[in-house]
Structure 1
Amino acid sequence: MTVTAAPARGRVLLSSPDVGPREEQLVGEAVRSGWIAPLGPMVDEFEARVADRCGRRHAVALSSGTAALHLALLQAGAGPGTAVVVPTLTFAATANAVVYTGAEPVFVDATEESGTLDPQLLDRALTELREAGTRVAAVVPVDLLGRCADYPALERTCRRFDVPVVSDAAEALGSSLGARPAGSFGESAALSFNGNKIMTTSGGGMLLTDDPAVAARARYLSTQARQPAVHYEHTEVGYNYRLSNLLAALGIAQLERLDEMIGRRRALRRSYVQLFAGVPGVRVFQHPGDQDDNCWLTAVLVDPQTAGWSADDLRAALDAADVESRPLWKPMHQQPVFAGARSFLDGTADRLFATGLALPSGSALTPQQVEVVTDAVLGFLAARR
C-alpha cells in the first residue's frame, strides 16, 4: 500500500487529506492485528487520546460528525414538539441532525467578525420562543472554519433560559478559546474527521462529554441498541454509527501529527494576509484574532464596490487556473429544504455568504501548489487594477 499526499499536478484542492508513512504504518498494524470489523483496541486508544486532547472525560468514536450531533441532541431531549437553535451560517449537517430527531431547527444569525452564533440575537430568539410556548431542547453553536464560538456569552444566555449547549466543533479540533480547547464546551460536543477536515479518518466523528451516562447511552445507541443477550435483542431503535478499528488507526496517526498540520495551515493564513495586504476592499476573514484557531479554512471577504470586483470574479479566475475555491456556507435560511423555517436574522450571514470566498488551505499543499495559487491571485489582481 502506498500513501501519498495531494498530487503535485492537477487541480489544487481546497483541503485535501494529509497522510504519510505514519498513517500507513498504523493502518497496516490494525490490519495485521485481525481487528477489521468495527471496534477494537485502536478505537479505544483513539477515543482516549481525543478525550485527553479536548479536556473531556469521555469520547465515543462514531461514523461521522453528523452521527455525533444526532446522538448528542437525542441526549439533550430533542424530539418532536421541541426546537433546537442553530446558526444559519453553517454546513447543512448541523440542521440535518436536528431534523433526524424530529425537532424543529430554528436559525439565528452570525457575528460579523467571526461568523459564529450571535449572542444578542440568541437572547432574542430564546425570549421569543419562550413567549410562543416553544420548548427549546438545545442550542448548537458552531465553531466556524476553526474559530470557537463565543461560549462564555452563549452559555450565560443558555443558563438563564435553562437550555443545554451542544457544541458543533466539527471544524475546530486543535483550536482553543482562552485556556480551553475546542470540544470542551457544552453538555456535549461533536467533532468531524471527514476527508477535508483538519485531520481525517476518511469518514468519522466523535462525541465528547464529561457525563458517563451520556457516553454509555451513545455507545449503546450507536451499536444498533443491542441488549446484552446471547441472541440479538432490541427494545428500541438504534443506529449503525460506530467507527471501525482501521479508521481509528488512521486517526491515531493523524492526531500525532495534528499540531504540525495546524502549523502549516497557520503559515498559509499568514501568507494570504500578506498577499492581500493593501488590496482595497479585501480582508482575510477572522483575522486578526486567529492566533488560537486551527485555521482549517482561510477565506477572504470582498467588498465589490471598493475592490471593483467580487468574490465570484476571483472564484472564476481561480477555477480557470485549476484552483479550487468555495463560497462560505450558504445560510440555512436560504436553503430550499428549510424554506419557511423560523429564523432570527440581521443580514450578517447573507453578507458573509455574498462576499466570502474560502481559498486552498490544506496542510498537504506543496510549495509548487502554493505558488500556483499565489500566481493566479496576483495575475487576477494585476488584471483588475
Structure 2
Amino acid sequence: MKKEKIYLSPPDLTGKEQLFIEEVLDSNWVAPLGSHLDLFEEKIAEHTGFKYSLAVNSGTSAIHLALLCHGVKKKDVVISSSLTFCGAVNPILYIGARPVFVDSSFDDWNIDVLLLEKSIKSSLKKPKAIVVTSLFGMPAKFDVIKSIGIKHGIPVIHDLAEAFGCQVNGQKPGEILDSAIVSFNGNKIITTSAGGALLTNNHEHYQRGLFLSTQAKEPGTGYIHKELGYNYRMSNVLAGLGLGQFTAINDKIEKKRKVFKYYKQQLENIKGIEFQEEKTGCFSDRWLTALFFNPKHFTTSPVSKIIENLAGENIESRYIWKPMHLQPLYKEYDCYSGEVSESLFENGLCLPSGTSLKPVDQNRIIEIVINTLKVFQ
C-alpha cells in the first residue's frame, strides 16, 4: 500500500476559515472590496509593521505594482537577487526594464551586499530600483541594504514572500524598511489560496498601487481610463480565508521553527551538512528548512539521489531555487558573480517543512537522508 504523501509545504487550515467565509457569503460581499478585506489588510500591516497594506491576487502582482509605484519604466535597470523564484523577477520584464542579477553570500544565502554595491557603481545607467529576496524566511541585511539604497538614491523593494514572520533586532520589517511585498500562495505560512500584498510606509505609493490594481479607473461614476491599469485586487472571499489563517499565525511560525530545529539537531553532526544560520539579531520564520551539502565533504552532490529516494517513499523535496542568471529566460542579462548561488543550487536541498508535519514523518525523512548519504562520504 502506497504511503500517504508528504508535501513540501502544504496549506494548513486552522478550522476557523469557514466561519469567516460564511460571514462573507452571508454579507453578499464577494467582490474585491468589503469589510473582511479591510480587516485582513489591517492585520497584515500590524503583523509586518508597515503603515499601509494593499492585498492583491499574488506576490508577483505586488512586485509589479511596487516597481510601478517607484517609477520603473521601459529600458530602466533594476537590480535583483539572483537566488530567488522567477515571480520576483518576471515583473521587471512586464515593464520592459532590464534586470541585473547579484549573487548571494554564504553567510545568510541572501544578496551579497558588497556585490550589490559593485553592481550599482559599475552600471552605465543608474538603476531605478533594487529587489531583494529574503530567502526561506531569513531576513536579508536590512540595515546595510537600506543604507546602500539611500547612499545611491535608489529605492529598495524587499521580497518577503518567504519571510512573512521575520524580524531584525526585535523590529518588524516595516519598522526598518520602506517598501516590501508578501505572498499568501498555498505553500506559504498563511495562505489565501492565491494572493499577496504590497506593503509600504508611503501613502502616495499606497494610493497609486490601489489605483493601478483596480484597472486605473479615474474617480467618479463614469468609466474613464487615462492609463493602463490591472485587475490585481484580492477578493473579499479570499480575505476571509486569510483572516481564518491569521488566527494561528504565531503558532504557525513557531511550528516552522520547531521543524527546522529538529532537522538541525538530528543532522548537524554529519560532516558536510550546513544550515542557513541566523546571524545576531535575525529572526527567521523558517518557511522552508534547507540543507547545504558542502562539496568539500562529499564525493559528488547527493541532492538528486536524496530527492529520488524521498520520492520513492512518496515524500516531496526540492532543489534550492535555480538562480535566475542560469534560467534560459534570463541568460542574456548581466550577473555579478554567481558562484555562491550556483553552489547552493547544485548542493542544496529543501525538505518538507509543513506546519502539520508529524514527528514520525519527520523521522522517516531524516532516516532516508542519513541512509542515502552513506555512499557519498
TM-score between both structures, scaled by the size of structure 2: 0.95
Quick one: which amino acid aligns to residue 230 of structure 2? Answer: Y
Which residue of 332, 340, 354 corresponds with 1:362? 354
| Pairing 1:105–2:96 present | no
Quick one: which amino acid aligns to residue 327 of structure 1? Answer: Y
| Pairing 1:347–2:339 present | yes
- Cα 1:237–1:65 shift into 2, 3 Å: same
| Pairing 1:114–2:104 present | no
Quick one: which amino acid aligns to residue 242 of structure 1? Answer: R
Quick one: which amino acid aligns to residue 336 of structure 2? Answer: F
Compute the RMSD of aligned alpha carbons: 1.9
| Pairing 1:172–2:166 present | no
| Pairing 1:58–2:49 present | no
Q: Which residue number in structure 2 is paired with residue 70 of structure 1?
A: 64
- Cα 1:10–1:305 shift into 2, 3 Å: same
CA distance in 2, matches of 1:260, 1:355: 31
* Partner secondary structure for residue 45 of structure 1: helix
- Cα 1:59–1:110 shift into 2, 3 Å: same
CA distance in 2, matches of 1:229, 1:196: 39
Quick one: which amino acid aligns to residue 58 of structure 2? Answer: S
Aligned residues: 375
Q: Which residue number in structure 2 is paired with residue 322 of structure 1?
A: 314
| Pairing 1:94–2:88 present | yes
* Partner secondary structure for residue 249 of structure 1: helix
- Cα 1:283–1:265 shift into 2, 3 Å: same
Q: Which residue number in structure 1 is paired with residue 327 of structure 2?
A: 335
Q: Offset of 1:275 from its aligned partner?
A: 1.6
| Pairing 1:214–2:205 present | yes
Q: Offset of 1:32 from its aligned partner?
A: 1.6
Q: Which deviates further from its counterpart, 89-98 or 301-310?
A: 301-310
Q: Which residue number in structure 2 is paired with residue 5 of structure 1?
A: none
Q: Which residue number in structure 2 is paired with residue 82 of structure 1?
A: 76
Quick one: which amino acid aligns to residue 372 of structure 2? Answer: F
Alpha carbons 1:164, 1:186 under 8 Å: kept: no
Task: Describe the superposition over 1:131-150 as per-residue Cα deviations: whole angstroms up to 9, x where unpaired.
Answer: x2x13111111111001110
Unaligned runs of 5+ in 1: 1-7
CA distance in 1, matches of 2:121, 2:208: 31
Alpha carbons 1:147, 1:175 under 8 Å: kept: yes
Task: Describe the superposition over 1:120-141 as per-residue Cα deviations: whole angstroms up to 9, x where unpaired.
Answer: 0011100011xx2x13111111
Which residue of 233, 246, 260 corresponds with 1:255? 246
CA distance in 2, matches of 1:184, 1:63: 25
Which residue of 348, 368, 371 corresponds with 1:376? 368
Task: Describe the superposition over 1:100-125 as per-residue Cα deviations: whole angstroms up to 9, x where unpaired.
Answer: 12211110011102111111001110
Quick one: which amino acid aligns to residue 162 of structure 2? Answer: E
Q: Which deviates further from its counterpart, 148-157 or 304-313?
A: 304-313
Alpha carbons 1:167, 1:183 under 8 Å: kept: no
Quick one: which amino acid aligns to residue 95 of structure 1? Answer: V
Q: Which deviates further from its counterpart, 149-158 or 193-202?
A: 149-158
CA distance in 1, matches of 2:291, 2:264: 9
CA distance in 1, matches of 2:117, 2:219: 44
* Partner secondary structure for residue 206 of structure 1: strand
CA distance in 1, matches of 2:321, 2:98: 20
Alpha carbons 1:147, 1:290 under 8 Å: kept: no
Unaligned runs of 5+ in 2: none
Q: Offset of 1:372 from its aligned partner?
A: 3.0
- Cα 1:16–1:290 shift into 2, 3 Å: farther
Q: Which residue number in structure 1 is paired with residue 23 of structure 2?
A: 29
CA distance in 1, matches of 2:307, 2:373: 12
Q: Which residue number in structure 2 is paired with residue 240 of structure 1?
A: 231
Q: Offset of 1:378 from its aligned partner?
A: 3.9
- Cα 1:304–1:111 shift into 2, 3 Å: closer
Task: Describe the superposition over 1:85-107 as per-residue Cα deviations: whole angstroms up to 9, x where unpaired.
Answer: 00110000111011112211110
Task: Describe the superposition over 1:37-68 as per-residue Cα deviations: whole angstroms up to 9, x where unpaired.
Answer: 22111000011111111111111110011111
Alpha carbons 1:105, 1:341 under 8 Å: kept: yes
- Cα 1:156–1:372 shift into 2, 3 Å: same
TM-score between both structures, scaled by the size of structure 1: 0.93
CA distance in 1, matches of 2:253, 2:16: 17
Identical counterparts, % of pairs = 34
